[in-house]
Amino acid sequence: EDKVVQSPLSLVVHEGDTVTLNCSYEVTNFRSLLWYKQEKKAPTFLFMLTSSGIEKKSGRLSSILDKKELFSILNITATQTGDSAIYLCAVEGISYSGGGADGLTFGKGTHLIIQP
Amino acid sequence: DAGITQSPRHKVTETGTPVTLRCHQTENHRYMYWYRQDPGHGLRLIHYSYGVKDTDKGEVSDGYSVSRSKTEDFLLTLESATSSQTSVYFCAIRESGVRDSPLHFGNGTRLTVT
């Protein structure tokens, strides 16, 4: 059974700080690791990390994947109040049944609060 | 919003009644998923579909059934609702023909079972 553990579960920082969110995982036949941001409604996609793409960056957000140690981190630099959200980490293993796309296994999320 | 519409957006129902939630997509994607989200548990997969009439169970499928008679619609049915099924339900799609594509989520249905 696939498993994802995120830490910390909650984090409060001040605007301008840099934060690092952690995600460790166990998955059979690793396919990908994904990060999502969830504000009030639907989770929105941030990054996908695979064997062929272990580092991703978009503006102030960046993520790396360590396939040997089975973890990923999400970094946010120069945080803003708009970064306040729940950040979700998910993994997917290669599936040989069900059409080849069984879905993602999610962690419980990190609730990030940015104070002005 | 990836062309996903969930209905209803909110529903309150009584224990023991059947409930059907609908997910509609406009872009003919092959893969569709139903997740529930609860405090302390995160998102958990209920059922998924990999084509018309092709579905399979996820992690928390007990008490739920699904149907997909058309590419664009994926229905989730609670056969006899219980209070433990009070949750926010999210539908998701995966883009077809795109290698290693992520899931994109609808805006959710908040279901309360009294």
Per-residue pLDDT of chain A (116 residues; tens, 9 = 90+): 889 999 999 999 999 999 999 999 999 889 899 999 999 889 999 999 998 778 999 999 999 999 888 999 999 999 999 999 999 999 998 776 656 677 899 999 999 999 99
Tens-place pLDDT, residues B6-36: 999 999 999 999 999 999 999 889 999 999 9
User: Cβ of B12: how many Cβ atoms within 10 Å?
Assistant: 10
For residue A8, cis peptide bond before it (omega within 30 degrees of 0) = yes
Distance CA B84, CA A39 (A): 24
User: Cβ of B65: how many Cβ atoms within 10 Å?
Assistant: 16
Distance CA A72, CA A63 (A): 7
In which residue are the tokens 């509609």 written? B24
In which residue are the tokens 């059922």 written? B47
Distance CA A21, CA A74 (A): 5
Q: How far apart are the first and last CA of chain A?
A: 41
Mutation site for A-interface testing, chosen from B23, B41, B100, B104 by largest number of A Cβ within 10 Å? B100
Out of B42, B100, B103, whose CB is closest to A50?
B100
- In this structure, are residues B112 and B12 in contact, taking their beta carbons and an 8 Å threshold? yes
List CB contacts (< 8 A) between A41 and chain B: 107-108
**Cβ-defined contact of B50 to A98 (cutoff 8 Å):** yes
Average pLDDT, chain A: 93
